[in-house]
Amino acid sequence: MKIKPLKSYPPPAYPTRAEAKQDARLLENPPRRCGKGNPLATLIGTGFLFQIAGTGCRDKPVQNKDVETPVVEPLERNQPPARAAVVRAVPVTRVAPILEDALANDGRGAFGCDAVSAPIFLSENEAVDLIEAELEKTGLKFHDIVTVEGLRVPTTQANWDDVGNLITPKTEDGSVDWEEREKFKIKNLAEGAYTFDLGTADKSVVVKFLRTKDYQAWDDNHFFMMSSVSSYDLSSLASQVRDAFAQRETGDPVVIGIFFEPLTHPEPYNENEKDTKARAKEKLRGQVRHFVEYLKQEGVVE
């Protein structure tokens, strides 16, 4: 096969560079195949055609003559608005939720007189050492006895009238409302300082273990009577202390953890005290681990 040059050929169907400059509408209807690709690439390709049409097919570049090459600007596109930074408002005081299972099943009991199957009490050292050991797994370093200002704390008893008489709940017929009497109620509260068992050096994280002496400190003692039986509802105390502390709105930021004595009862069939205490420690450990999960959710620890 011998290749022969064409003696004549029809003019190209696309517009020349000069024609395109005179009438931009000539570029509004490009060939169908050009619409399938990137529109920018189409324009660039058209630009190359313009140059070919204007310069012709030459074996050598033109000497001492500037060749004007069209510059194709990228198409302007509507850029999506910058996503607004999400700013989370962190309260001055964050009181961690208390483990629901503990609130429902632990912290209630009585002892004294002829009480049967009295609960096991953890000593203060046992409880605080256990709490500190669990918390230090987070990498935070805790110190004993840390005080935080600006919290709602007990002041005077809530149920005494102006002349020193006890105010007792009454039913419509004037008799004592025994159901209301059995409910735990805290004393009047006022802003003040509160001492926690453990806390970080900067007081950003503090924890309190509520036990029997705390119950007595917060109880308004609205029905004091001599008795050889003592009963406790530390679950109710923990809930009300949590609500009281959450009212703090000024001061340095702090995260508060509240734990309470499980008051674990022996299992039936004469479970020994050692095994009951081991279960009590595991219950308390569950409260602390629940608090640690909260610290992770809040970004306090990893």
Q: Is the pLDDT of residue 28 over 80?
A: no
CA-to-CA distance for 37 and 237, rounded, in angstroms? 71
**Pick from 22-26, 62-66, 227-231, 246-250: least confident:** 62-66
CA-to-CA distance for 283 and 275, rounded, in angstroms? 13
pLDDT at 37: 52
Q: Is the pLDDT of residue 256 over 90?
A: yes
pLDDT at 141: 96
Asked whether 107 and 232 are in contact (CB, 8 A), the reply is yes
- In eight-state DSSP terms, residue 270 is T
Closest CA to 74 of 49, 43, 46, 47: 43
pLDDT at 135: 97
- Identify the band that residue 4 occupies on the pLDDT scale cut at 50, 70 and 90: confident
- Identify the band that residue 107 occupies on the pLDDT scale cut at 50, 70 and 90: very high
pLDDT tens digits, residue range 180-198?
Answer: 555 667 888 999 999 999 9
Q: Is the pLDDT of residue 235 over 80?
A: yes
Q: Is the pLDDT of residue 277 over 90?
A: yes
Q: Are strands 189-199 and 205-210 parallel, antiparallel or unpaired?
A: antiparallel
pLDDT tens digits, residue range 71-105?
Answer: 555 555 555 555 545 556 789 999 999 999 999 99
Chain position carrying tokens 């569950």: 286
Q: What is the arithmetic mean of pLDDT over 205-217?
A: 94
Asked whether 154 and 194 are in contact (CB, 8 A), the reply is no
pTM confidence score: 0.64
Q: Is 74 exposed, middle or buried (0-12, 13-18, 19+ CB in 10 A)?
A: exposed
Mean of all residue pLDDT scores within the chain: 78
Q: What is the arithmetic mean of pLDDT over 203-225?
A: 84
Per-domain residue ranges of the chain:
8-74, 93-297
